[in-house]
Amino acid sequence: MKKQLHVITNGKQTGDEITRIARDIHTYITALHIREKTKTAKELTQLLEQLKRNGVPMSKIIINDRVDVAVCWQTKGVQLAYHSLDAALVRAAFPDMMIGCSVHSLEEAQNAEQKGADFLLYGHVFWTESKREQDPRGIEPLHHIVEQTSVPVIAIGGIKAENVCEVLHTGAAGIAVMSGILEAESPLEAAKNYKRELEVWNELNV
């Protein structure tokens, strides 16, 4: 299976900036997570309308937390956090929806899998500016979660082009990036660099 590249918004860009970046990079990525915690459902809808007008397919969009928005816009799926609706409730109501769950331990990962998650987002793996006061969880716990669960695990947190292979050696299904692409001098070139690392891995591990 080809390794995945997820990009997650971080609430720092305007809607116009998100749209511009998404328009440029969407062909190089697996999914764009709209993680805008301060936006209302109406504001998210306005952003999605803008993305769609600029050619970004809803099949590439994953909505953080807001199941209602994901359903109404028929996006690729929804990403559930600890404060979100229970994954089992979402699965029961929307059996065909792609559901991702953010997890930080093996217990959380196994619980999310049992409740019907299609994939897990695990981190933070390496040190990252956004969590500067928290120690990174490291590679070994990631590897352990991959081994002890049967759904794809996407790694997040401090992942740079130069450590992509180290992450993939754990068996992770892919990587998720925030500032490494969104705050890069050229988000397009950054996305291409990450994509290139994944393609090299795919070619060497067919």
What does the pLDDT look like over 98-111, one tens digit per residue? 999 999 999 999 99
pLDDT of residue 75: 98
What does the pLDDT look like over 2-60, one tens digit per residue? 899 999 999 999 999 999 999 999 999 999 999 999 999 999 999 999 999 999 999 99
CATH 3.20.20.70 fits 4-204, yes or no: yes
**How many Cα atoms are found within 13 Å in the side-chain-facing hemisphere of 134?**
14
What does the pLDDT look like over 108-160, one tens digit per residue? 999 999 999 999 999 988 977 666 667 778 899 999 999 999 999 999 999 99
Catalytic residue set: 124
Q: Do residues 194 and 180 lie in contact, with contact meaning Cβ atoms separated by under 8 Å?
A: yes
